[in-house]
Structure 1
Amino acid sequence: MTSSSRRVVVAINPAASFGLGSEVGPALVTTLRGLGHEVTSLTEPDFAQLLDATRAALREKPDALVVGGGDGMVNLGVTALEGTRIPLGIVPSGTGNDMARGLSIPIGDTEAAITALTAALHRPPRVIDAGRIAFDGGRARFACILAAGFDALVNERANRMRWPRGRSRYTIALLIELARLRPIEYRLTLDGVEHVERALLVAVANNLSFGGGMKVAPDASLDDGLFDVVLVRPLGRLAFLRIYPRVFAGTHVTDSRVVVHRAREVRIEAAGVVAYADGERIAPLPVDIHMQEGSLRVLA
């Protein structure tokens, strides 16, 4: 190895064996090796095995962990890196890519993303925050947004559906949940202060967007040591459909029925709701969320 080369672990999305993301992993590994970096490439049949393999590889203390995929792969990286100072690199190739979007990493252009990554390998990493989730039976970590409301209900329904496959399954799940739209009774504890709320959605945001660019928390910052806790209070179906498109521009927060709190410690309680973070299923509520300020290093 030369003084400019790095030891890099590359974890590749196990679901990206076909489609648009199938070429990202090989291109990433080939480019890094071509530049003289020592690369350990990890491919496993599922996320659980890939997480185990990544944790094992990180015990060798490489210079960086790079993930190829979407926000689920970012979540795997964030989880594996807990308690280390190893930086995380991202080459986005998923459907959402909201973490890459929040870090201004090129999206939809693999070559540009790899070029940005290789340049970042030679700079000090950016230090950002992450969130720790505790729930009955376990714990988890996230870097983007934890959601527990309408969007989580849509995810939960779509995950139970066996037909159709692909994105249309989520569209059908959304229409079903929209027809069943009703407020959820929440008990929120924000930095020790209890709030009882009826709301359609609660999002605990470290990053500004989820769902492929929906700016649910447009003023959130990745490195301010605080979560933006966004609540959407009860709306009728027509009002919900009117406000929904505004989320992509982040202008929904000007509506009086959208409330934003800031907190370091958040507890969410509600019956029949499952929390999702970085697009991944976490656990049924209640969950306790703790801000891990400055705990994540990223190559961005």
Structure 2
Amino acid sequence: MPSDSTDSNKFKQVLVVYNPASGTVGDFDRRLGAMVRHFAEEKGYVVNARPLTQDMTSAEMLAPVMGPFELVVAVGGDGTVGFVLGAVAESGLKIPVGIIPFGTGNLLARALKISTGKHNEDPLERAMDTIIHGDTINLDLGKMNGRWFTIDAGTGPIADAITKPIKEHKTKFRLLAYGWPLLKSVTHRPLRYQLTIDDGEKLDVEASGIFITNSSEMGIGVEGIEHLSDGVLDLLVMNPRSVVDYWRLLARFFRWFILNQDSGHVPYLLRKVKRVHIEMIPKQVSRSPLHRFARKTRDILSGKTHVPKIRFEAEAMIDGEPCGTTPCTIEIVPGAVLVRVPRAEAPAIVK
């Protein structure tokens, strides 16, 4: 009589990991039925669905049921996708990950061309076609102080603003929910940082936002799927000081959000890096006339006078979520995980 392990190996298994709280995953039961049908009819897969819980570890998420999984599918927003990709990378498993974007921004899915970002798009249909009929690429991931990220890490008032929208606002207003926090960031003076790059080169910079990106986020960074597998990160130092500077940032965002187009030249791209260490220098930076005007307007509207304090550390974030404070070290992990992408978009196909 064959053993249980032999019988279990006959099953081709796919693990579907989903976040019940993601922005558009509400009718997951119906969508799961469609996924099971697609996987069974076209690939002969047995589907194991596993909801993410708040305290779930990577090992718990990837624990096999009837033998090893041949495919992992992340269903949800950028947070869910990032957690799944980081877990697979940390485990060392060389199995492809498919992405079904059911979140608010779906930034990585847009960067990988799995999603177009159009409001009338069916995320399930396009994503399933990618998973079943697409190609597999080696995807770079970043790490900040040991935590994985897929799109970017950052610090400074502009980066901090990206972490502020609450879930209800993101669900209702989607990416427009970031508008008010970003506008409020104008009231904060730039900060001074020391950057230690790659082989030890040190730079002192003033910035309202430092971003280390693997691809474009909301118009910030360099577009193109090839940048997700090039073995380097883009170091961006943003220090807008005038209405014109902020207007250019806003124009990039709306060009990306509404037209789904790259804005070409990135004026605040400092260089390509593999590793950067960021420390905040506790020294106040002078405000521009725009910052002074915005600060004074806020004081008048709030009826309070805000007294500036010298700061010794700055908040940091990864993929739009808070992630401690400076000092922080960010580095690239080339080819950290395998990901399914549309066939026409794959620049580095894994054979």
Tell me the residue number matched to 1:113: 127
Secondary structure of 2:55's counterpart equals: helix
Q: How does 1:92-131 map to 2 (within 5 A)?
A: 92-107=101-116, 108-109=121-122, 110-120=124-134, 125-131=136-142
Consecutive unaligned residues of structure 2, counting only runs of 5 or more, are 1-6, 281-311, 342-351
Change (3 A) 1:277 1:151: same
* Length, aligned pairs only: 285
Tell me the residue number matched to 1:267: 277
- Rounded to whole Å, the distance in 2 between the matches of 1:163 and 1:292 is 33
- Which residue identity does 1:294 align to in structure 2? G
Equivalent of 1:41 in 37, 49, 64: 49
- Rounded to whole Å, the distance in 1 between the matches of 2:243 and 2:33 is 46
- Aligned partners of 1:181 and 1:237 also within 8 Å: no
RMSD of Structure 2 on Structure 1 (CA): 3.3
1:202 correspondence with 2:243: no
- Which residue identity does 1:233 align to in structure 2? N
Equivalent of 1:133 in 144, 148, 151: 144
TM value normalised by structure 2: 0.70
- Rounded to whole Å, the distance in 2 between the matches of 1:19 and 1:218 is 27
Of 6-15 and 240-249, deviating more is 240-249
1:260 CA displacement:
2.5
Change (3 A) 1:17 1:268: closer
Secondary structure of 1:112's counterpart equals: helix
State, as a whole percentage, how many aligned pairs show the same letter: 25
- Aligned partners of 1:89 and 1:117 also within 8 Å: yes
Equivalent of 1:184 in 191, 194, 197: 191
Secondary structure of 1:48's counterpart equals: coil
Equivalent of 1:286 in 327, 330, 335: 327
1:238 CA displacement:
4.7
- Aligned partners of 2:161 and 2:181 also within 8 Å: yes
Change (3 A) 1:218 1:231: farther
- Which residue identity does 2:56 align to in structure 1? Q
Equivalent of 2:233 in 227, 241, 247: 227
- Rounded to whole Å, the distance in 2 between the matches of 1:58 and 1:149 is 44
- Aligned partners of 1:61 and 1:86 also within 8 Å: no
- Which residue identity does 1:218 align to in structure 2? E
- Aligned partners of 1:243 and 1:252 also within 8 Å: no
- Rounded to whole Å, the distance in 1 between the matches of 2:47 and 2:12 is 8
Q: Which has the higher helix share?
A: 2
- Rounded to whole Å, the distance in 2 between the matches of 1:216 and 1:89 is 24
Change (3 A) 1:163 1:67: closer
Tell me the residue number matched to 1:245: 251
1:71 correspondence with 2:78: yes
1:210 CA displacement:
1.4
Structure number with bigger Rg: 2
- Aligned partners of 2:137 and 2:340 also within 8 Å: yes
- Rounded to whole Å, the distance in 2 between the matches of 1:48 and 1:24 is 25
Q: How does 1:206-217 map to 2 (within 5 A)?
A: 206-207=214-215, 209-211=216-218, 214-217=219-222
- Rounded to whole Å, the distance in 2 between the matches of 1:286 and 1:118 is 42
